[in-house]
Amino acid sequence: MALQMRLLPSVRLLSRPLASVSSSSTTSYSSVVLPDGFTAAPSTHDPKTDAPTHTGQTWDASDYRNVRFLEKGATKEVNPNWAIKLIHQVPVKKVKDRKVWCDGGHPELGHPKVYINLDQPGPHTCGYCGLRYEQEKH
């Protein structure tokens, strides 16, 4: 009973609308504060041309994470070779059996052995590594 009484105020807080909880304080990251002796290089960051990462991450020009690019010549580098694009370049593996197992080639890397049923027509994808398998026509 005592535990319920201690948790009751927090439950009431969670049941309020989010606007009433968050309207009391707002934080703005519109400017970056530099330590003494540091000067900011001219920003070449353009949010319109900023390339998204594989997670879809893009940063606004006023984002505090841009402080890492204040050094002369430092820019955000994005690898254009995303895994989802690379795995689609691997051809579909044709097999004769109705079932196939996939372990990703190296089970010590965390890919468990999974079995894929190939009874339905068309290629079937491994949920862990993205390799595709298809049953050969007899």
Report the pLDDT value the prediction gives residue 84, as an integer from 0 to 100: 81
As a whole number of angstroms, the distance between CA 138 and CA 123 comes to 16
Report the pLDDT value the prediction gives residue 48, as an integer from 0 to 100: 44
pTM exceeding the 0.85 threshold for the entire prediction: no
Rg (CA), the chain: 26
Phi-psi region of 110 (alpha: psi -120 to 50; beta: other; left: phi over 0): left
Token representation of residue 108: 């010590």
Mind listing the domains of the chain with CATH numbers?
28-80 (no CATH), 83-135 (2.60.260)
pLDDT values of the chain reduced to their tens digit, one per residue, 138 residues: 555 555 444 444 444 444 444 444 444 444 555 556 555 555 554 544 467 777 777 777 777 877 777 777 777 777 878 888 888 899 999 999 999 999 887 777 788 889 999 999 999 999 988 999 999 987
